[in-house]
Structure 1
Amino acid sequence: MLKRGSTIGILGGGQLGRMMATSAAQLGYRVIGYAPDGDNVMGDVAEDFVTAAWDDEAALAAFAARCDVVTWEFENVPVATARGIAGPAIFPDPKALETAQDRLDEKRFIEELGGRPAAYAKVDSSYDLIAAADRLGAPGILKTRRDGYDGKGQWRIANGREAEALNVPETPCIYEAFVEFEAEFSVILVRSQDGETRFWDSTRNEHRGGILAASHFPAGEPIAAQIAEARELARKVADALNYVGVLTLEFFATHEGPIFNEMAPRVHNSGHWTIEGAATSQFENHIRAVAGLPLGDTRTTAAQVEMRNILGNDIENAHAALGDARLHLHDYGKAEASEGRKMGHATLITHDAGL
């Protein structure tokens, strides 16, 4: 168990780290961040922030020497960087990063555990893409195997002609057949160092342009009927990786049951509602897990929850909504409000009369 006043190192500097650092301070810990140049908004709330390249061995060693435990907030932290942490323990195990960073490896891993991803094919050339679209059908989505998020590194293929016309990127890709789904949802869990696992309620997720627009609780049907099966897979994933911390799996709810979409070895955008809507937020429970503390209660404390992302210049008008007493605003403090960039989120909480 990490003693009071210890230092937690966080690889990455974005809003997820910012909210993790806030929870760590609440529990009596200090936080140091580490990331390359960028809008590292976690630095606003951390005790210190190291700005250095992921492959700067000297800077990384100096950072690690100041930490009692290390974690991350960004799934594209290089595996070599995570494995290069010497001295303090790092949670989760970097194998989780390695598994999630390659979409092909991730899907094969899920299949080995009995999960069902969308039909897929490896794509390394234009010929591979044409063959994949012919075999799996179109429409479908071509994705880079690495580094894509929030709709980046993805191309929708409407038909065979588009497959033939597309200039395939010079990077390993994967083609995924289109999934006819009724809804999208997340399963978010936290697993302690001794293997205790707890789940938050699942939300119905609404995406626009590949970016999460909103999460809703209760999730409604048909998601409610598929949560148990999805949770079982998520538990298998966490156990197989000997995972410590918060882990997220995203699913499509279909007539055939839950279809796996992707996993995120970190706290997740669709879990932001837990700050005000659950007994213990995903951010606090992640810190509890990596610090070796008892896990907090994950029960939902609201009757209805709606979390909406605030993108781009919409952040300039966000305060005007605070006239609604049910609304909670989180401004991430980012300087540049580019189109589609997550600048903050707002959570609308409705309680039962007795709460």
Structure 2
Amino acid sequence: MTVTPPGATIGIVGGGQLGRMLAVAAAQLGYRTHVFAPEESGPASDVASTWTRGAYDDQTALQAFAAAVDIVTYEFENVPGATADLLAASGHVRPSGRALAIAQDRLLEKGFVAELGGTTAPYAPVSTRDELDRAVAEVGAPAILKTARFGYDGKGQSRIMRADSAALDAAWADIGGQPAVLEGFVRFEHEFSLILVRGQAGEIRFWDAPLNVHEAGILATSTVPANDAVLAQAEAARAIAAQVAEALDYVGVLTLEFFCGEAGPIFNEMAPRVHNSGHWTIEGAVTSQFENHIRAICGLPLGSTARTAPGVVMENLIGEAASNWSGILADDRAHLHLYGKHEARPGRKMGHVTRLTGQ
């Protein structure tokens, strides 16, 4: 086990709101943070010690970044594999590049979890328009066509409600004719996520599974404790998530999303990072997902994941919803987090608010 003591500098690849909250947690533990991102600034720039603007394929800039930090992590999973490999050659990158590679490709991801015994929706690979015809014949319709790589918050997806040529042409055009996966619809009542942290020595701790509600493909709310249906499937989902973490020799926070179905938890996707559905842990858990991620990658003892209140509700502030900051702050139960983004756009996450309930 390698301990990176307080006072060291943690490199964060990506400068969005997750990087911002990681940097805040790191500062509370006595660390400095250095962000590497292609943008001139971002939500993390307000709180990080240093910001390097550079393209993810700029080897000179990446090498200088790696030389300036003691350890590297990342705040989103679309970091190019070559970037992760270059940084890993210069020092410690946690979580590993293998976790990134699997999470970046929906086909690899589903196959990996299925091999470990997890249940997925029926799916088929699609690399050409002709293959889409064969995939629909195999999987059926309705179905959803998703780009194999680089999709999030409902992006890179197209629903197929009918199996006729016009509908398939439109779906193929919607995703830009990219390599994709066709997923059959599954019957489910609820969506939930499992967020765990795994330390360098292999210790795993779970937070409570939140019940997640999405609107227009974007997470709207996460609530703990979840309802009885989710709670009945949480143990089985935890077993799958733990197997994934062990198989990857994972270090840090890992998130797996599930559908709550009649036959048990159905794996949807994973994120090798801190996650939007875990924002409730900042006020709602003894140790937040952000602090425990820093603890894990630095080789520190993991913190308690127990809830601090009987119930917690986290609500995303999308677009103009964040402009009601004054009204939110007037609520004695509200804990407001604004990400410092300068322009509110439809579908853009501007912040979140967490409310502790039942106290």
Scaled by the length of structure 2, the TM-score of the pair is 0.96
Structure 1 residues 39 and 170: CA distance shift in structure 2, 3 A = farther
1:119-147 C-alpha deviation (Å, 9 max, x unpaired): 00001122222222222121110000000
Structure 2 counterparts to residues 55-134 of structure 1, below 5 A: 55-85=57-87, 86-134=89-137
- Separation of aligned partners in 2, 1:225 and 1:144: 32
Alignment of 1:289-308 (within 5 A): 289-308=296-315
Q: Which amino acid aligns with 1:54?
A: Y
Counterparts in 2 of 1:303 and 1:288: CA distance versus 1, 3 Å: same
Return 214-223 or 257-266, whichever deviates more.
Answer: 214-223
SS in structure 2 at match of 1:90: coil
Deviation at 1:88, TM superposition (A): 2.4
C-alpha displacement at 1:164, in angstroms? 5.0
Measure the CA separation in 2 of the matches of 1:31 and 1:45: 9
Count of matched residue pairs: 352
Report the residue type matching 1:320 in the other structure. Answer: G
2:168 aligned residue: 163
Tell me which residue corresponds to 1:184.
Answer: 191
Q: Secondary structure at the match of 2:188?
A: coil
Quote the offset at 1:254 in angstroms: 0.5
Aligned 1:145-294 pairs, distance under 5 A: 145-161=148-164, 162-168=167-173, 169-294=176-301
Aligned to 2:47: 45
Contact 2:197 2:204 in 1 (8 A): yes
Q: In structure 1, how many angstroms separate the alpha carbons of the residues matched to 2:202 and 2:168? A: 45
How far, CA to CA, are the matches of 2:226 and 2:162 in structure 1? 32
Distance in 2 separating the partners of 1:30 and 1:302: 31
From the superposition, tell whether residues 132 and 269 of structure 1 become closer, same or farther in structure 2 (CA, over 3 Å).
same
Corresponding residue of 1:340: 347
Matched residue type, 2:55: A
**Structure 2: which amino acid aligns with 1:5?**
G
In structure 1, what is the Cα distance between the partners aligned to 2:102 and 2:202? 20
SS in 2 for 1:267: coil
Q: Identity across aligned pairs (percent)?
A: 57
- Aligned match for 2:28, one of 26, 29, 32: 26
Cα drift, residue 301 of structure 1: 1.3
User: Does the CA contact (< 8 Å) of 1:39 and 1:334 recur in 2?
Assistant: no
Question: RMSD in angstroms over aligned alpha carbons?
Answer: 1.1
CA distance in structure 1 between the partners assigned to 2:343 and 2:350 by the alignment? 9
CA contact (8 A) 2:129 2:177 kept: no
Once residues 135 and 291 of structure 1 are traced to their aligned partners in structure 2, the CA distance between those partners, rounded to angstroms, is 46
Deviations along 1:83-103, one digit per CA (max 9) or x if unpaired, are: 101332110111000000000
Q: Mind listing any 5+ residue stretches in structure 1 that lack a counterpart?
A: none
Match of 2:15 in 1: 13
TM-score, normalized by length of structure 1?
0.97
How far residue 38 of structure 1 moved from its aligned partner, in angstroms, is 5.5
> Structure 2 CA distance, aligned partners of 1:264 and 1:37?
22
Q: What secondary structure does 1:28 align onto? A: coil
CA distance in structure 1 between the aligned counterparts of 2:172 and 2:9, rounded to whole angstroms: 48
Q: Which letter does structure 2 place at the counterpart of 1:248? A: T
* AA matched with 2:183: E
| Contact 1:248–1:263 under 8 Å retained in 2 | yes
By how many angstroms is 1:327 displaced? Answer: 0.5
Unpaired runs of 5+ residues, structure 2, are none
What is the distance in 2 between the residues matched to 1:226 and 1:117?
Answer: 15
State how far apart, in whole Å, the 1-side matches of 2:105 and 2:172 are: 21
- Counterpart code for 2:119: R
Runs of 4+ in 1 over 2 A off after TM superposition: 163-170
Which stretch of structure 1 is more off in the superposition, 37-46 or 239-248? Answer: 37-46
CA distance in 2, matches of 1:326, 1:142: 41
In the TM superposition, residue 167 of structure 1 has moved relative to its aligned partner by 3.5
Contact 2:284 2:356 in 1 (8 A): yes
SS at match of 1:89: coil
Instruction: Name the CA distance, whole Å, in 1 between partners of 2:172 and 2:107.
Output: 20
Once residues 171 and 145 of structure 2 are traced to their aligned partners in structure 1, the CA distance between those partners, rounded to angstroms, is: 10
Q: CA deviation at 1:342?
A: 0.4
| AA of the residue aligned to 2:264 | G
